[in-house]
Amino acid sequence: MNNTLLLGAALLSGISATAQTYISAAPEGGFDLNGGKEYVVLYAPQPVLTAMGERLISNNNLDQDQVDNYLEYWVTDWDAKALTLYNVPASEGELNSFGDSEFVNATPLYEWGTGVFMSKAKAYDLSKVTDKHHLHIGLRDFGSSPSKYQFSVGSQKTIKTNGFQIMAGIDLGQASGDYVGIGQLPGGNDGKWYYIDVPVADLIDENGDFGFTYDFSAPITDGAFTFSFNSPLCSTAKTSGPAPGETVYSYEITKLGSALSLDHIFFYVPETDGVDNVAAEAEEEITGIYDLTGRAVANPGKGIYIVTTNLGARKVRF
């Protein structure tokens, strides 16, 4: 009996350590697009979309002409000309995680600074997202002070009951208001690119750290994705204008505070999943399959199991 209890504790400990890989360093050259399929894109640079080819099944990319959709930076409620976030111009030579130049830089001018991917002439279509997909976000912290980042996916009208609200910069499973932590950025504000990769199956697992629910079958006609800062160090700036034809002030950052870059937000299905995916990794051998209580399972059915290998333990959806 004692051995069984110790085994269960060891497995749970292994899961906790493995789960921190929800955030990991971006590989050289960026995400391996050949390793995924059934891409549902909210934002990605054009070369990335081109490389996805026929594996791109729903393209909701940000429209540079702002006809179909646009990136809205909230304004203050006391002065509609004052932005809460500012899109910091990229420095010469800065590149995204794929080695290209396209990405979004944002710094908060007020603590609740928020950016929203807003629908305009075309509704967002996330209906092809399934439990087999992974949510993937490329980000970096290039600010003068590390921060915590809040991300939500789903219609903002119903986001509290229908969608995902996650936070990078706090421990896995830790709650902060409506958001749930996915772990820390390993390098903090080191200016390097990191990837968030969370299986949808984990996000909706009622026995896991999140317990979210989602139904993306209906078109999303408001904001489909938001990003914001939690208790950041706000930047200071000089304001002028608005310039002719503009509705908000022009800004010149005088002291950079917290700052975030994003270079893609999409869903994808790994080319292999389940036990096949565990066994396919380099020199990794399955040593056992267990249910969530730590009991060995010889013939697993549908559900979430603990798979142990010579490299560690992880939760796998069958």
Give per-residue pLDDT as tens, 148-176: 999 999 999 999 999 999 999 999 999 99
Both 78 and 154 in one domain: the answer is: yes
What pLDDT score was predicted for residue 312?
58
| Same domain for 280 and 202 | no
**DSSP conformational letter for 26:** P
**Over the range 182-191, which residues count as b (16 or more CB within 10 Å of their CB) and which as e?**
bbbbeeebee
Residue 2, pLDDT above cutoff 50? no
- Mean pLDDT of all residues in 40-46: 97
CA nearest 225: which of 180, 171, 166?
A: 166
Three-state secondary structure call for residue 304: strand
pLDDT over 70 at 10, yes or no: no
Mean pLDDT, the chain, integer? 87
114: pLDDT strictly greater than 50: yes
pLDDT for 311: 59
Q: Are residues 222 and 248 in the same domain?
A: yes
Neighbours of 164 (CB within 10 A): 21
Look at residue 87 and tell me whether its pLDDT is greater than 60.
yes
Q: How confident is the model at residue 83 (pLDDT cuts 50, 70, 90)?
A: very high
State residue 34's pLDDT score.
Answer: 92
Range list of β-strands (E), the chain:
23-25, 36-43, 56-59, 69-73, 85-86, 104-108, 114-119, 134-141, 148-153, 164-168, 175-176, 179-181, 193-199, 223-230, 236-240, 250-255, 260-270, 286-290, 304-309, 312-317
Same domain flag for 134 and 282: no
CA 272 to chain centre: 21
Q: Are residues 112 and 255 both part of a single domain?
A: yes
77 and 13, same domain (yes or no): no
Contact 164, 158 (CB under 8 A): no
Classify burial at 207, counting beta carbons within 10 Å of its beta carbon; exposed 0-12, middle 13-18, buried 19 or more. Answer: exposed
Are residues 205 and 290 located together in one domain of the fold?
no
The CA distance from 214 to 267, in Å, is 14
- Give the contacts of 155 (CB within 8 A, at least 6 positions apart): 162, 163, 218, 220, 221, 222, 223, 224
C-beta of residue 62 within 8 angstroms of C-beta of residue 9: no
Percent of the residues in the chain that have a pLDDT greater than 90, as a whole number? 74
Give me the percent of the chain exceeding a pLDDT of 70: 86
Mean pLDDT of 219-228: 97
Q: Are residues 264 and 276 in the same domain?
A: no
3-class secondary-structure state, position 315: strand
273 and 317 in contact (C-beta within 8 Å)?
yes
Question: 9 falls in which pLDDT band (50, 70, 90)?
Answer: very low
Instruction: Examine the domain organization and report whether 48 and 151 are in the same domain.
Output: yes
For the cut 60, the answer to whether the pLDDT of residue 17 exceeds it is no
Please check whether residues 150 and 298 belong to one and the same domain.
Answer: no
pTM of the model: 0.80
Asked whether residue 257 carries a pLDDT value surpassing 70, the answer given is yes
What is the four-CA torsion angle of 68, 72, 75, 77, rounded to 10 degrees? Answer: 60
pLDDT at 264 over 90: yes
68 shares its domain with 210:
yes
Q: Domain range holding 281?
A: 1-22+272-318
Compute the distance between CA of residue 66 and CA of residue 302 in angstroms, rounded to an integer. 43
The C-alpha atoms of residue 268 and residue 48 are separated, in whole angstroms, by 13
Q: Which residues on adjacent β-strands are paired with residue 196?
A: 23, 137
Average pLDDT over residues 120-128: 96
- For residue 4, name the pLDDT band (cuts at 50, 70, 90): very low
* DSSP designation for 132: T
Residue ending a domain, choose from 271, 292, 310: 271
Of 251, 271, 291, which one is at a domain's C-terminal end? Answer: 271
Interatomic CA distance for residues 294 and 141, integer angstroms: 38
**CATH code for the domain in which residue 90 is found:** 2.60.120.430
With 90 as the cut, is the pLDDT of residue 127 above it?
yes
- pLDDT-based confidence at 287, cuts 50/70/90? confident
End-to-end CA distance of the chain: 28
pLDDT (0 to 100) of residue 283 = 62
53 and 199, same domain (yes or no) = yes
Q: How many domains does the chain have?
A: 2
Residue 275: pLDDT band (50, 70, 90) is: low
Query: In whole angstroms, what is the distance from residue 83 CA to residue 73 CA?
Result: 7
